[in-house]
Structure 1
Amino acid sequence: MAERVVLAVRDLAVQFGSEQGVVRALDGVSFDLHAGRTLGIVGESGCGKSVTARSILRLVERPGIISGGRLLLDPGTPEEADLARLDPDSRQMRAVRGGRIGLIFQEPMTALSVHYTVGNQLIEAVRQHSTASAAEARARAVELLREVGIPRPETRIDAYPFELSGGLRQRVGIAMALAGDPDIVIADEPTTALDVTTQAQILALLKRLQAQKGISLMLITHDMGVIAQMADEVAVMYLGRVVEFAPVRQLFAAPRHPYTRALLRAVPSILAAPRQRLSTIGGAVPHPGMRPAGCPFHPRCGERLGAVCMERIPAPVPTGRPGASCFREEEAA
């Protein structure tokens, strides 16, 4: 029996107004996040991964707006709430942000304020989502630092962020995401700017905390190796759309979309011949305000079918089922 869906994103559209016109950052994104499982969101920079995360928490900055779609928390239950319909500054949304859904920010070096100790920032997060006294909140903050593996948390709680290494700052960021005891955590490229040893430690920490607390994890990354290690299901994004969805083993064994295959070919292999050039994807992700006609990936695709790819947009990926938004996939079906 499949785990219940804790977060259902349906046809999410986000746009930004500019002097040049409306820029569609997200164009109908849909996926499900299941209880206790990890959903990997993968794609190149500029594909809309971080905008998706910020939209769920209603943190999209002006002039960005959610122009369509639904963000259903606890769908199909009496507690169902559409986050897209809530005022970002409302009490209900503030209770969700940090309380039900925690966010691990992308850059550990800048995610924390340099003007306050890590304890001050962590205690504030604890008190925001509980009725704990100052002393109780400090004790809880020390315990959180201990949970995420920070040595001597009783003294480190009074340290400023610039006194900590990048790995320790990221652990503090994870502790802040867990301060409200959320059941969903969004990790936005949590290993960015960290060395490979520290990356491995952070990923192992996330896995351990997920197993202990039953957290549903939405992991955003551009690293296919991290996806292979961490994810249960994978949504591949390109230019603000989900172009493929599949269980992680199926995605790596038989990718259906040409973009997914290109991403996997670009991963370095220990089996490759020495001094062999790495495979690359030609071109770059187009600016969202200059979308090509037809399939968004066709200008970079080495498998395009011709006029159909250049003139028509393929059908979206069916929500909750493996598939790809590609005319080759439709032809095979």
Structure 2
Amino acid sequence: MEQGNVHALEGVSFDLRAGRTLGIVGESGCGKSVTARSILRIIDRPGRITGGRILLDPGTPQEVDLAALDPESARMRAVRGGRVGLIFQEPMTALSVHYTVGNQIIEAVRQHSDISKAEARNRAIELLREVGIPRPETRIDAYPFELSGGLRQRVGIAMALAGDPDILIADEPTTALDVTTQAQILALLRRLQAEKRIALMLITHDMGVIAEMTDEVAVMYLGRVVEYAPVAALFAAPRHPYTRALLRAVPSVLAAPRQRLATIGGAVPHPGARPAGCAFHPRCAEVIPGRCTAEMPPAIPPGIAGASCFLDVPA
């Protein structure tokens, strides 16, 4: 049934800088993965971008607005997997079961470089070695089902690096992995970023990962950035009630035994049933009746630390 336009994202703004890590955090359904897919123009139909800009190389003669490009154009395909790499969030299903991991990496390499298949195979072996896969000369001919979850995720990282990207988007890269493997994957991402000066965008719902990995944090709720801050400032003095609620819900080794975890009442609304005023107000313990329920708080200016909340804005 036709229901008109439903905005999955609205007022999302942030910067990605070389050698820095931006964390995107929020509950499921807040728009984190849609943000990543919008940058690469791989939104599932009938979804589309209706406004805004996605600037690559801003302020330079090479500046290009990705939002203005045809998703199927040669220029966009050169950016997708070339200048910008994406690590998908589910290592168990992100790879095709019908092809060896080598075939899939070789295809990604040849998509963005004019080299022979033999040269691409050597490059794929080099990438597998770079991401810490043992015996890459034999593992390159393995099928995904022959590899553990951790090795599959490393293959996914190798594919994302195949085009030698300037920007790497990691969409929940530790999902479904055990804690030891999670730590290894995060250490790998940190090492690769330091070596290659990659701008890393790390999407997660794990505040511990945010604290360990990121330089700046954008907190999202229902398709909108509600707080943006350096990571130390966010944990020391969160400015939005939603951020404070997320931090209260983090388990602590210092908590009393058998103490119940704090929860956020209710659930993230459907974008088609967005509440009037501040979208978080039905779940907010600090709601201002008559204001939060009727007015939308101002958006956070790009690159400026702050919160989209009336409690953070001078009257």
Residue number in structure 2 paired with 1:240: 223
- Structure 1 segments, 4+ long, off by >6 Å, are none
Residue number in structure 1 paired with 2:169: 186
CA distance in 2, matches of 1:115, 1:318: 46
Compute the RMSD of aligned alpha carbons. 0.8
CA distance in 1, matches of 2:236, 2:117: 52
Q: What's the offset of the Cα at 1:21?
A: 3.0
Q: What's the offset of the Cα at 1:35?
A: 1.4
CA distance in 1, matches of 2:143, 2:282: 48
Q: What's the offset of the Cα at 1:219?
A: 0.4
In structure 2, what residue type is equivalent to 1:26? L
Residue number in structure 2 paired with 1:114: 97
Secondary structure at 2:50 match in 1:
strand
**Aligned equivalent of 1:195, options 166, 173, 178:** 178
CA distance in 1, matches of 2:247, 2:141: 44
CA distance in 2, matches of 1:133, 1:194: 35
Residue number in structure 1 paired with 2:35: 52
CA distance in 2, matches of 1:263, 1:283: 13
In structure 2, what residue type is equivalent to 1:112? L
In structure 2, what residue type is equivalent to 1:226? V
Secondary structure at 1:66 match in 2:
coil
Q: What's the offset of the Cα at 1:19?
A: 2.9
Residue number in structure 2 paired with 1:7: none
**Aligned equivalent of 2:2, options 1, 9, 19:** 19
Residue number in structure 1 paired with 2:136: 153
Q: Which has the higher strand share?
A: 1
Residue number in structure 2 paired with 1:92: 75
Deviation track 1:144-195 (CA, whole Å, cap 9, x = no partner) reads: 0000000110000000000001100000000000000001000000000111
Q: What's the offset of the Cα at 1:111?
A: 0.4
Taking structure 1 as the reference length, the TM-score comes to 0.94
Secondary structure at 2:187 match in 1:
helix
CA distance in 2, matches of 1:80, 1:222: 32
User: Which structure 2 residues correspond to residues 109-258 of structure 1 after superposition, within 5 A?
Assistant: 109-258=92-241
Which ranges of structure 2 fall in alignment gaps of 5 or more residues? none
Which ranges of structure 1 fall in alignment gaps of 5 or more residues? 1-17
Q: What's the offset of the Cα at 1:61?
A: 1.4
Q: What's the offset of the Cα at 1:22?
A: 2.2
**Aligned equivalent of 1:69, options 49, 52, 60:** 52
CA distance in 2, matches of 1:42, 1:83: 23
Q: What's the offset of the Cα at 1:20?
A: 3.1
Matched-pair identity in %: 82
Taking structure 2 as the reference length, the TM-score comes to 0.99
CA distance in 2, matches of 1:273, 1:158: 51
Residue number in structure 2 paired with 1:36: 19
CA distance in 2, matches of 1:305, 1:272: 31
